[in-house]
Structure 1
């Protein structure tokens, strides 16, 4: 980008727990996402985007710093990120941007309602954030001076209004801005919604994904009716999210900013919702680890699908690459801006994803710590002791039902994926027990503090959930 050319504004929208398959453009006819569908037509639509660690805190840290979880420090839920970590906001600040953050942060550690002081905001200058809240009818935000403001009504609507207020106040500014809007939905609780939203989807005939396994639920004895109700609430959150994105896009168009704004949409990870008999996340399946990713800049980025694999750790280097910038420190993510601009560009061969620390619901699973790679067509996963978990050919098995790890006809593919996995593991963490990884990274004390906090929090949380008649699993 030439020195004489004004850098574009950046608007980065991130949701929480929105899996790749639940948009209209991805083929789901039950969910209603007309604004995301249009955005997918206006820009680069990545079809194989993955969360490197499908859990809220590590994923968010990797997205902002372009580093894997052990390097940025927030290696498990509610372990705080290193305060001195370099984020994309620091690079944008140095390039003359005003950086702003609105919504869920979840990188401050415990307690979840703590104030995030300026030195812990990873360089973001304008602040209307909260550390973590999922009671969507009891929201709040803290401003730049850590004055707390109560949110009335459904939290994502209010957060979008805050974003629109920011955009309105900067519409005549000559200084470019980079605004992050991070909402907590469609993460459970699924049933805290605007009036009528849950009923709207409950009254529709919803189809469960083909890999939902009611008879072999591994975490709670859900029946089909209860899973369908969770689908209804989940889709309600997504429809409301899409409406808020529509408000923002309309403002950009009304103010003739849409063509000149880089608009990004993604999520930190997905949601199992009964697929393969599991709930929530922290799993190698696509429902948990694969996310939507849209990057629009109508003036510059050719629209169309991008089949090349990408992951959250690549997004910040790619976004910087689009505007001619780069990180000035060591990062793990790759600049894939060439793929953004050129549909046929080479890209990368694999993405690496994992779940080191068995947080919350994962602590009771048979496989508690794992690593995986995917090239977009095949995926392969191993436990921390290098026992094979599974391998799938998503080219002809998009629901990941037939495990082919022991199929001799795929031996060459397995060897290739295993070699790629070994390279990534040896580079990033080693096949070590998760406790050892935390000790080596000086994170065990923070983990123990988090666990002690949650033993009390979950007891209080479930009592609060009962009052609003919600069926919720551990966060």
Structure 2
């Protein structure tokens, strides 16, 4: 291709998303134990967003709603739910497991704009939405979790049906399999149009069983416990008996949590190395300079923090995620500290690549934070978990509201000053000097619930 044609061509997009990778599980985010040299390098060469949050969801399988928000750029109640009447707590309701068919996904938008869209790895949002999002793909896993060797893998089906009996068990570890599939695509891509390469890892989700060489990098006794490690959560948060909470003994034992962290870090380090191979393939095919690389995660996870193991809470360890962007249009070494929401990624990508943005998108572009034109894209972020928890944070002050229902949970409110208490261990809700902050956040939260038609308000109205 001639040089002027290269300049005029829109950039490629390599979008990498992990499962359960919380914001502080990367060296560049301040973790001094974990080894993530590739992600650290991408952060140094691009922009690292420090305050990006998910919006939770109405199902314990939080990867479903979080990915739906990311893919559609809409709020958690709009992204997956297509009917107003929702019986809260019915987590197996199928309308909670698929993307709202009225909403275009961002890969679908890029496909319409002339990009070659290629999907690899985990897709937990229904086969219909995958079919309309991607023109091609390989080694696709429709599901939430499974053993990293032996996952039921589909090849791309042009009909979009993907019958279950057509899946074949994978023979390689999932992280390596998905990375090698991406490398094959990059090395063999000869088309004129730009591409979107969507790579969804199942790591570092459990079962955390990385190859021994990566486990050997982390000795359990040398893994520090987080400052907010607790033997048990101090009260019933409404979701104390979900599957994730049964992955370690109760009360939590420090040596067991250290082992979980060692395995978690091992999975991330293996994934980091495989991402490095993808970046190397871009370099070897002379496509790196015209490729935007994005790394993020669907949500975080507790692993001993607050006495919890899973992601079914609204503490930062569960809803605060990493986001790194590097490539054309991205300045080097930028740390964007303003608040952002997962649904803001969609409009940000579109602005970076000069791609048309659908009117359905609610998210706000974060380009201003990248360029330095403004310090933030939004004043507050919000989140919900099932019918038992709601959250609002302005970046410093954070409120979590808990609801007791059907003999489960606790009616109470927590208030944290994240500037002094980033580990969320000092509840200020009963502090008389902080009542103005509490009341202000309560009003913000209620206004947000009303604006997004939070189903919990609808049910309370029905109950009178």
Scaled to the shorter chain, the TM-score interval is 0.7 to 0.9
Tell me the distance in 1 between the aligned counterparts of 2:459 and 2:198: 33
User: 1:174 and 2:174 equivalent?
Assistant: no
Counterpart secondary structure, 1:391: strand
- Which structure 2 residues correspond to residues 249-398 of structure 1 after superposition, within 5 A? 249-297=279-327, 300-342=330-372, 344-356=374-386, 369-383=388-402, 388-398=412-422
Aligned position for 2:228: 211
Aligned position for 1:432: 456
Tell me the distance in 2 between the aligned counterparts of 1:15 and 1:436: 36
| Conserved? CA contact 1:31–1:235, under 8 Å | yes
Aligned position for 1:195: 212
Label 1:422 to 1:231 Cα distance change in 2 as closer, same or farther (>3 A): same
Tell me the distance in 2 between the aligned counterparts of 1:286 and 1:300: 27
Measure how far apart 1:340 and its partner are: 2.4
| Conserved? CA contact 1:7–1:176, under 8 Å | yes
Tell me the distance in 2 between the aligned counterparts of 1:356 and 1:434: 14
Label 1:323 to 1:98 Cα distance change in 2 as closer, same or farther (>3 A): same
Structure 2 unmatched ranges of 5 or more: 83-90, 235-239, 405-409
Label 1:215 to 1:280 Cα distance change in 2 as closer, same or farther (>3 A): closer
Counterpart secondary structure, 2:118: strand
Measure how far apart 1:344 and its partner are: 3.9
Aligned position for 2:87: none
How big is each residue's C-alpha offset from its partner over 1:398-440, in whole Å with a ceiling of 9 and x where there is no partner? 1111111222322332233222212211111336269789xxx
Counterpart secondary structure, 1:249: helix
Measure how far apart 1:327 and its partner are: 2.7
Measure how far apart 1:350 and its partner are: 1.1
User: 1:103 and 2:110 equivalent?
Assistant: no
Label 1:22 to 1:343 Cα distance change in 2 as closer, same or farther (>3 A): farther
Counterpart secondary structure, 1:186: coil
| Conserved? CA contact 1:62–1:312, under 8 Å | yes
Tell me the distance in 2 between the aligned counterparts of 1:278 and 1:356: 17
Label 1:83 to 1:298 Cα distance change in 2 as closer, same or farther (>3 A): closer
Measure how far apart 1:233 and its partner are: 0.8
Aligned position for 1:137: 149
| Conserved? CA contact 2:450–2:457, under 8 Å | no
Counterpart secondary structure, 2:27: coil
Label 1:405 to 1:296 Cα distance change in 2 as closer, same or farther (>3 A): same
Measure how far apart 1:354 and its partner are: 1.3
Q: CA RMSD in A?
A: 2.7
TM-score under structure 1 normalisation? 0.81
Measure how far apart 1:227 and its partner are: 1.1
Counterpart secondary structure, 1:410: helix
Structure 1 unmatched ranges of 5 or more: 109-115, 358-368, 438-475
Label 1:323 to 1:196 Cα distance change in 2 as closer, same or farther (>3 A): closer
Tell me the distance in 1 between the aligned counterparts of 2:265 and 2:458: 35
Aligned position for 1:5: 8
| Conserved? CA contact 1:9–1:262, under 8 Å | yes
Tell me the distance in 1 between the aligned counterparts of 2:357 and 2:6: 19
- How many matched pairs? 416
Counterpart secondary structure, 1:184: coil
Tell me the distance in 1 between the aligned counterparts of 2:176 and 2:141: 15
| Conserved? CA contact 1:301–1:340, under 8 Å | yes
- Which structure 2 residues correspond to residues 80-99 of structure 1 after superposition, within 5 A? 80-99=98-117
